[in-house]
Amino acid sequence: MKTAIFGGSFDPPHLGHIEIAKKALESGIDKIIIMPNYLNPLKHSFSAPPELRLKWLKEIFKDFKNVEVSDFEISQKKPVYSIETIEHFKPDYFIIGSDNLHTLDKWHRINDILKKVEFIVAKRGTVDKNLLSKYNIKKVLDVDIPISSTEIRNCKFEYLPKVIEKEIKEFYGQNCKN
Ligand SMILES: Nc1ncnc2c1ncn2[C@@H]1O[C@H](COP(=O)(O)OP(=O)(O)OP(=O)(O)O)[C@@H](O)[C@H]1O
Ligand SMILES: O=C(O)c1ccc[n+]([C@@H]2O[C@H](COP(=O)([O-])O)[C@@H](O)[C@H]2O)c1
Protein backbone atom coordinates (compact mmCIF):
# COMPACT_ATOMS: atom_id res chain seq x y z
CA MET A 1 0.00 0.00 0.00
CA LYS A 2 1.78 3.14 -1.25
CA THR A 3 0.48 6.44 0.11
CA ALA A 4 1.32 9.98 -0.93
CA ILE A 5 0.61 13.34 0.64
CA PHE A 6 -0.18 16.14 -1.80
CA GLY A 7 0.23 19.36 0.15
CA GLY A 8 -0.61 22.82 -1.09
CA SER A 9 -2.12 26.20 -0.50
CA PHE A 10 -4.94 25.52 -3.03
CA ASP A 11 -5.88 29.23 -3.05
CA PRO A 12 -7.86 28.27 -5.12
CA PRO A 13 -7.71 24.65 -6.30
CA HIS A 14 -7.56 24.31 -10.11
CA LEU A 15 -7.44 21.66 -12.84
CA GLY A 16 -3.64 21.38 -12.45
CA HIS A 17 -4.17 19.97 -8.95
CA ILE A 18 -6.81 17.49 -10.14
CA GLU A 19 -4.55 16.31 -12.95
CA ILE A 20 -1.70 15.73 -10.47
CA ALA A 21 -3.93 13.54 -8.28
CA LYS A 22 -5.14 11.54 -11.32
CA LYS A 23 -1.63 11.05 -12.70
CA ALA A 24 -0.29 10.01 -9.28
CA LEU A 25 -2.99 7.34 -8.94
CA GLU A 26 -2.25 6.14 -12.49
CA SER A 27 1.45 5.90 -11.60
CA GLY A 28 0.76 3.25 -8.95
CA ILE A 29 0.03 5.28 -5.80
CA ASP A 30 -2.74 3.52 -3.85
CA LYS A 31 -3.91 6.43 -1.73
CA ILE A 32 -3.49 10.20 -1.85
CA ILE A 33 -4.01 12.49 1.09
CA ILE A 34 -4.71 16.03 -0.11
CA MET A 35 -3.39 18.37 2.54
CA PRO A 36 -4.37 22.04 2.30
CA ASN A 37 -2.15 24.16 4.53
CA TYR A 38 -3.35 26.89 6.86
CA LEU A 39 -0.45 29.00 5.51
CA ASN A 40 2.69 27.88 3.66
CA PRO A 41 5.58 28.38 6.15
CA LEU A 42 7.45 30.36 3.47
CA LYS A 43 4.49 32.63 2.60
CA HIS A 44 3.05 35.59 4.50
CA SER A 45 -0.68 35.49 3.81
CA PHE A 46 -3.52 33.69 2.13
CA SER A 47 -6.51 35.01 0.21
CA ALA A 48 -9.39 32.52 0.67
CA PRO A 49 -9.86 31.46 4.31
CA PRO A 50 -8.54 27.96 5.15
CA GLU A 51 -12.01 26.51 5.87
CA LEU A 52 -13.27 27.65 2.45
CA ARG A 53 -10.26 26.11 0.66
CA LEU A 54 -10.89 22.88 2.60
CA LYS A 55 -14.58 22.89 1.61
CA TRP A 56 -13.72 23.44 -2.08
CA LEU A 57 -11.27 20.54 -2.04
CA LYS A 58 -13.83 18.24 -0.39
CA GLU A 59 -16.38 19.11 -3.10
CA ILE A 60 -13.87 18.54 -5.89
CA PHE A 61 -12.61 15.18 -4.66
CA LYS A 62 -15.82 13.75 -3.14
CA ASP A 63 -16.28 11.16 -5.90
CA PHE A 64 -12.61 10.23 -6.25
CA LYS A 65 -11.72 6.73 -5.12
CA ASN A 66 -8.56 6.53 -2.99
CA VAL A 67 -8.33 10.28 -2.41
CA GLU A 68 -8.89 11.80 1.03
CA VAL A 69 -8.89 15.50 1.90
CA SER A 70 -7.41 16.11 5.35
CA ASP A 71 -7.91 18.99 7.79
CA PHE A 72 -4.80 17.99 9.80
CA GLU A 73 -2.88 21.20 9.00
CA ILE A 74 -5.80 23.63 8.72
CA SER A 75 -7.28 22.56 12.07
CA GLN A 76 -4.05 23.69 13.78
CA LYS A 77 -4.77 27.27 12.67
CA LYS A 78 -1.06 28.03 12.11
CA PRO A 79 1.61 27.28 9.48
CA VAL A 80 2.60 23.62 9.84
CA TYR A 81 5.95 22.32 8.64
CA SER A 82 5.66 19.39 6.22
CA ILE A 83 8.01 17.32 8.40
CA GLU A 84 5.35 17.40 11.16
CA THR A 85 2.68 16.16 8.77
CA ILE A 86 5.02 13.49 7.41
CA GLU A 87 5.91 12.29 10.92
CA HIS A 88 2.19 12.05 11.73
CA PHE A 89 0.94 10.24 8.59
CA LYS A 90 4.15 8.36 7.68
CA PRO A 91 3.45 8.42 3.91
CA ASP A 92 5.79 6.86 1.33
CA TYR A 93 5.73 9.93 -0.92
CA PHE A 94 5.18 13.70 -0.90
CA ILE A 95 3.98 15.28 -4.16
CA ILE A 96 5.18 18.70 -5.33
CA GLY A 97 5.21 20.64 -8.59
CA SER A 98 8.61 21.10 -10.24
CA ASP A 99 8.63 24.82 -9.33
CA ASN A 100 8.93 23.84 -5.67
CA LEU A 101 12.21 21.99 -6.36
CA HIS A 102 13.94 25.37 -6.39
CA THR A 103 13.04 26.18 -2.77
CA LEU A 104 13.19 22.70 -1.21
CA ASP A 105 16.48 23.55 0.50
CA LYS A 106 14.59 26.19 2.53
CA TRP A 107 12.08 23.69 3.95
CA HIS A 108 12.33 23.05 7.68
CA ARG A 109 14.40 19.91 8.39
CA ILE A 110 14.62 19.02 4.69
CA ASN A 111 17.26 16.37 5.36
CA ASP A 112 14.90 14.56 7.74
CA ILE A 113 12.11 14.82 5.15
CA LEU A 114 14.38 13.24 2.55
CA LYS A 115 15.05 10.31 4.88
CA LYS A 116 11.34 9.72 5.48
CA VAL A 117 9.68 10.22 2.06
CA GLU A 118 10.48 10.18 -1.62
CA PHE A 119 9.32 13.25 -3.53
CA ILE A 120 7.09 12.82 -6.58
CA VAL A 121 7.42 15.77 -8.95
CA ALA A 122 4.67 16.99 -11.26
CA LYS A 123 6.04 18.72 -14.36
CA ARG A 124 5.37 22.43 -14.45
CA GLY A 125 7.14 23.84 -17.48
CA THR A 126 10.75 22.73 -17.49
CA VAL A 127 12.10 20.34 -14.88
CA ASP A 128 15.65 20.89 -13.61
CA LYS A 129 17.34 17.47 -14.02
CA ASN A 130 20.15 18.45 -11.63
CA LEU A 131 17.61 19.03 -8.88
CA LEU A 132 15.90 15.69 -9.61
CA SER A 133 19.20 13.89 -9.07
CA LYS A 134 20.16 16.10 -6.09
CA TYR A 135 17.01 14.97 -4.29
CA ASN A 136 17.09 11.42 -5.72
CA ILE A 137 13.66 11.86 -7.35
CA LYS A 138 12.57 8.98 -9.54
CA LYS A 139 8.89 9.64 -10.14
CA VAL A 140 8.01 12.55 -12.46
CA LEU A 141 4.36 13.03 -13.45
CA ASP A 142 3.68 14.21 -16.96
CA VAL A 143 1.35 17.12 -16.22
CA ASP A 144 0.69 19.87 -18.75
CA ILE A 145 -1.88 22.25 -17.29
CA PRO A 146 -0.60 25.81 -17.69
CA ILE A 147 -2.36 27.58 -14.82
CA SER A 148 -1.50 28.83 -11.33
CA SER A 149 -3.64 29.90 -8.40
CA THR A 150 -1.93 33.30 -8.60
CA GLU A 151 -3.32 33.81 -12.12
CA ILE A 152 -6.81 32.85 -10.96
CA ARG A 153 -6.56 35.21 -7.96
CA ASN A 154 -5.69 37.86 -10.57
CA CYS A 155 -8.97 37.05 -12.33
CA LYS A 156 -7.75 34.79 -15.13
CA PHE A 157 -10.70 32.45 -14.72
CA GLU A 158 -9.43 29.42 -16.65
CA TYR A 159 -8.87 25.74 -15.77
CA LEU A 160 -11.44 25.97 -12.97
CA PRO A 161 -13.03 22.80 -11.56
CA LYS A 162 -16.67 22.76 -12.73
CA VAL A 163 -18.20 22.04 -9.31
CA ILE A 164 -16.73 25.18 -7.73
CA GLU A 165 -16.36 27.42 -10.79
CA LYS A 166 -19.15 29.79 -9.77
CA GLU A 167 -17.93 30.10 -6.17
CA ILE A 168 -14.36 30.78 -7.27
CA LYS A 169 -15.47 33.51 -9.65
CA GLU A 170 -17.66 35.09 -6.96
CA PHE A 171 -14.94 34.97 -4.29
CA TYR A 172 -11.91 36.19 -6.28
CA GLY A 173 -13.98 38.28 -8.73
CA GLN A 174 -14.66 40.83 -5.97
CA ASN A 175 -11.12 42.14 -6.54
CA CYS A 176 -11.26 42.29 -10.36
CA LYS A 177 -11.19 45.71 -11.94
CA ASN A 178 -13.84 44.99 -14.62
N1 LIG B 1 -0.31 23.63 -13.10
C2 LIG B 1 0.48 22.91 -12.29
N3 LIG B 1 1.31 21.97 -12.81
C4 LIG B 1 2.13 21.24 -11.99
N5 LIG B 1 2.19 21.39 -10.62
C6 LIG B 1 1.39 22.31 -10.08
C7 LIG B 1 0.48 23.10 -10.87
N8 LIG B 1 -0.19 23.91 -10.04
C9 LIG B 1 0.26 23.66 -8.81
N10 LIG B 1 1.20 22.71 -8.81
C11 LIG B 1 1.90 22.16 -7.63
O12 LIG B 1 0.90 21.73 -6.71
C13 LIG B 1 1.26 22.07 -5.36
C14 LIG B 1 0.18 22.95 -4.74
O15 LIG B 1 0.11 24.11 -5.54
P16 LIG B 1 -0.48 25.50 -5.03
O17 LIG B 1 -1.70 25.26 -4.25
O18 LIG B 1 0.58 26.33 -4.43
O19 LIG B 1 -0.93 26.12 -6.44
P20 LIG B 1 -0.14 27.17 -7.32
O21 LIG B 1 -0.86 27.27 -8.63
O22 LIG B 1 1.32 26.84 -7.36
O23 LIG B 1 -0.39 28.48 -6.45
P24 LIG B 1 0.33 29.90 -6.40
O25 LIG B 1 0.23 30.51 -7.76
O26 LIG B 1 -0.47 30.63 -5.36
O27 LIG B 1 1.77 29.66 -5.97
C28 LIG B 1 2.62 22.76 -5.46
O29 LIG B 1 3.63 21.81 -5.17
C30 LIG B 1 2.69 23.23 -6.91
O31 LIG B 1 4.02 23.28 -7.38
O1 LIG C 1 7.88 22.53 5.71
C2 LIG C 1 8.30 23.54 5.15
O3 LIG C 1 9.25 24.21 5.57
C4 LIG C 1 7.58 23.98 3.88
C5 LIG C 1 7.99 25.12 3.19
C6 LIG C 1 7.31 25.50 2.04
C7 LIG C 1 6.23 24.76 1.59
N8 LIG C 1 5.86 23.66 2.29
C9 LIG C 1 4.72 22.85 1.82
O10 LIG C 1 4.82 22.62 0.43
C11 LIG C 1 3.53 22.40 -0.12
C12 LIG C 1 3.35 23.23 -1.37
O13 LIG C 1 3.15 24.58 -0.98
P14 LIG C 1 2.49 25.63 -1.95
O15 LIG C 1 2.23 26.86 -1.13
O16 LIG C 1 3.48 25.83 -3.05
O17 LIG C 1 1.22 25.02 -2.43
C18 LIG C 1 2.55 22.72 1.01
O19 LIG C 1 2.15 21.53 1.64
C20 LIG C 1 3.39 23.56 1.94
O21 LIG C 1 2.92 23.59 3.27
C22 LIG C 1 6.51 23.27 3.39
Contacts of 112 (CB under 8 A, 6+ apart): 83
Contacts of 145 (CB under 8 A, 6+ apart): 14, 15, 16, 19, 159
Of all ligands present, the nearest one to the C-alpha of 79 is 2
Return the residue whose CA atom lies nearest to atom 7 of ligand 2. Answer: 40
Position 117 pLDDT exceeds 90: yes
Residue 175 or 144, more confident: 144
Domain extent at residue 129: 3-147
Residue 175 pLDDT: 80
Structural domain contains residue 164: no
Structural domain contains residue 83: yes
Residue 137 or 177, more confident: 137
Q: Do 92 and 56 contact (CB within 8 A), yes or no?
A: no
> At 178, is the pLDDT very low, low, confident or very high (cuts 50, 70, 90)?
low
User: Chain-centre distance of CA 175, in angstroms?
Assistant: 24
User: Chain-centre distance of CA 148, in angstroms?
Assistant: 11
Structural domain contains residue 22: yes
Residue 177 pLDDT: 64
Distance 41 CA to ligand 1 centre (A): 15
Structural domain contains residue 170: no
Query: What's the structural domain count of the chain?
Result: 1
Domain CATH for 17? 3.40.50.620
CB of 19 sitting under 6 A from ligand 1: no
> At 113, is the pLDDT very low, low, confident or very high (cuts 50, 70, 90)?
very high
What is the per-residue pLDDT across 74-94, written as a single tens digit (0 to 9) for each?
999 999 999 999 999 999 999
Distance 73 CA to ligand 2 centre (A): 11
Structural domain contains residue 85: yes
Structural domain contains residue 63: yes
Structural domain contains residue 140: yes
Structural domain contains residue 153: no
